[in-house]
Structure 1
Amino acid sequence: MNSNHDTTLPKVVFLILVFLIPLAPRAPAIAHPISLTEARVLVQREKITVKLSVFVEDLFLFQGIEPNKDNFLPPKAILEGRTKHQAFLLERFTIRDVEGILLSGKVVKIKDFEMPEQGIGMGELMDFSYTYDIEYPLEAPADYLTFSQRMVDETAGLPAETRMEVLQAGSDTPIYVTLFPETPETLPFDWSRPPLTSDASEAEWDSWYERRIEQELGITNYSSVYSFLYIEDYEVRHEILIPLLTLQSSVYIPRRDEAFLDLDEQEEARRQVGAFFAAGNPIVIDGVTVQPKVDRIDFYGVALKDFAQQAPAKRVSMANARAGIILSYSCKNTPNNVALHWDQFNDDIWRIGSTVYAFDEVKKHVFRRGMEENVYRWTNPGRPPLPPVENVRQLLPQREVISVYWYTLVALVIALVTGIALRMSSASRQMRISAFVIGLAVIAFSFRGPSMAFDDPLAKPPIVAEGDARDIVEILQQNIYRAFDYKDEDQVYDALAKSVHGPLLEEIYLKVQNGLKMEEQGGAVSRVRRVELVEGTIEGPFDWETGFQFRCAWNVEGTVEHWGHIHTRTSQYRAVLRIQADQNAWRIIELDVLDEERGILKTNLRRL
């Protein structure tokens, strides 16, 4: 074969390609495989101003602009697309207020660029951009705003990002957020203390951030799933806070309006959500898988006032609302081992930060999708079980009684009858003496065997000193409130019966239970942390039949814990009690509540 021919052929092919390529039709070239938008947001008290920078590429993608035969977008088509794109931006970039209501915006200005005479080439679409100034008027300063975007073509597979810089008026320190399609981001705005300026010290920033955590009660990320595990003496409780948008990936939440969950739709939503969580994330207590009781399911708006206390039921926004689920698992006494297995992941749940409150100990744990074992295990470090509630026998007075043997009583009766008979029969003196001696011997021999006892009618009732009365009442009050540590109603009644006379049981049960309820927390019964008798006076002497009367005042400090917060209230009661030594133990037989003063509810974070 000719070697010249071997080297000449590739050269000929190359020259042919060089001449043919310019003649081939050009395919439109997209300069970037992702739709990028930049947003600079200024939040003022009376309005929000958004500067949206949009590449010409987006006009090509969303406004149907076609390149000409030279592969350029014509200037006229670009200008028409620029005008049409206003409606697209107002529809696809949205801001919602604290109630989830869509704010109405208006394009007030478009910043142009110098248009090339021939138009813009397909390879230069990312080199030119328009800036749309959009204003959203506000009726009042915004406490929370929820931003979202849908800068995507549903028929195409291109991803989209909006890089957002948010600045609150009064600060020069912006917040940076990247918005992804259908993934809202909620931001808080504190007008009493806005973010600091850039020249603030580290200590000032630490103080500002700590205050924000306190204000937000530790829930600072509005798109995260939070898990709280409480381990107590008679109960394990699992509480979950989850955004509705995240939850709907796993649970069907029927609604008429995709943007809102209305009041009349929430009961069915509760049923669906409760069934979902009751069937997953099993908890094992001392080797036994315990079935949960769904205590409560609430739908919270984004505002702090909705979250810190039980808010009235209302319509909530799917964009920023969260579901709060409380599941309780009963146990007979202080558990030794508890295991929580998280198995409810979905496309939006990849990581769950869980906080464990085991009595006075606080720990953090993270569940991650893809791990071989997503289990948190707790072992009792040595906390003993709570002692049972016992009868109050301290300082119990003793009755003065007279005991008589039955044989002695019979002997005395026989001796009396015999003496009367001998006297009436004119028996001899010797016979009467013999009978008397025999009677004495029988009586002396009868001091044994079974006996009977009765109160000494001449004895005075014992005196109950005021100090002793205070001690008795303090123990009885401690017992009454301890009874409500139990979760089962029968156990509560059994414990109350140790300190309360039978006919009064139901009355005291209802009075104490109502006093411990925190209506702000949905009627949850608080756990008593402290009972303090602040004053007390005994009124009148002790009587065996009616006991003694005690006028007193006492404080009760109760707490309810939810979502990592402690809600504390101290209430004071004034009452007159009647205490009786009943069935060989002290019991309250009468209760007359004179006054009840419920303290202010205080809410704090439970810290590590």
Structure 2
Amino acid sequence: MPGRPLLAILTLVLTLFPALAAADPQDGPHAEVRISISDTDVRFNVAMNLNYVDAVMPTAREFPDAVDPTEEAAIRERIEQFFLDENEVTIDGVEVRGIIEEYELIRLDRENLKLFPKTGLRALTRFNLVVSYPFKSAPEVLTMAWSAYPEDTMSTEPPGPDGKLPKMIILALLKAEGIVEQIIFSESDPVVEWRPSHATIDDRLETVPEPIDFATPGIPIISVALLLAWVVFSVVLVKKQGIKIVVILGIPLLIMAYVARTGAVLPIGEPDVDDDALLAVFKPLHTNVYRAFDYSAESDIYDALSRSVSGDMLEELYTSIHRGLVQAEQGGSVGRITKVLIDESNVVEINTDNPSFVVEAYWIVEGTVYHWGHSHPRETVYHANYTIAEDDGKWRIVGSEVLSSKHLNPDPIDLPEGSSL
């Protein structure tokens, strides 16, 4: 079915993962951080559970597992202090104080309390806030520092010699210049520096070779017939009327032979098309399709895809990616592709009538699913046939047929029956 292999990877990129979402928030300290850089500010959209808040910004409470309404003001003050005074954002070397634009304490449904035997209600109590760091002119150098890293009680690594667990790392999504990427804050490397690339869509995409000539070698029958006729008549006429009449008649015949050269052709061989040249077309097209998933703006996604895909596939892919973006903006899981490796590719069909060709390809997609401050690795092997054709003077992928796909690291999470969190 056209487009199916490309649509299949949207389960990795910018989409919800029900099983994973059902397992979150985690039974330990977690923080989800999404950062956006616009023309006017740097904006942190943060969601933390009470486990994380207690670990790095504790407050005195009557009951450790809950936040009483009378205690909400004190815990909010401590959270705001953490973001405004202990975390730091500098723009072109100048520290900028943040502004708390939104704050909300959310007590999630208790019906799934059994999923969190270690920390109970602290895993289900969440704090959402938006912190803005405004600027007047676009920054050339921006640094962001995250100051606190509690022990990662969900870590599968053994404790160190001191008996302590490894420290948490903060996995954040950064959206800037229309691109979404993952960044990491850690105790050993707590500062992330960002500089604008000023790159256009074309700068970020690989160059695709121009269409090549698919013409089959052959003899232009009409042209040859006209030339033979001229030769025969020339032999006869030159003896009777001289060379002048031969030249007069020969000029229009030569013109007609030239015009007719693209008419009826007698094939005498196969098209002189090199498989390596065709694969050099397919590989950047394939790479550029995946790079379109890095964009966040609708127009950028469509523009990037349209440089590699056309026809029904373009509309299907664009619609699917847009749907995933909407879900991600609503707080769903987000996938990022980290590597695409073509393991094997071969040209299996060439169509010379309507210049196109089919490539059979095996490739591996590596990526991560990001949700609630942690990531889940994904690695999938695909086998598919792609049809590449000339469209408006450019090569484009116009169809694909999935032959097989295999997840190399299936999700190990096993939720209790009936879980709905």
TM-score by length of 2: 0.48
Greater RCO (CA < 8 Å, at least 6 residues apart): 2
More helix per residue: 1 or 2?
2
TM-score by length of 1: 0.36
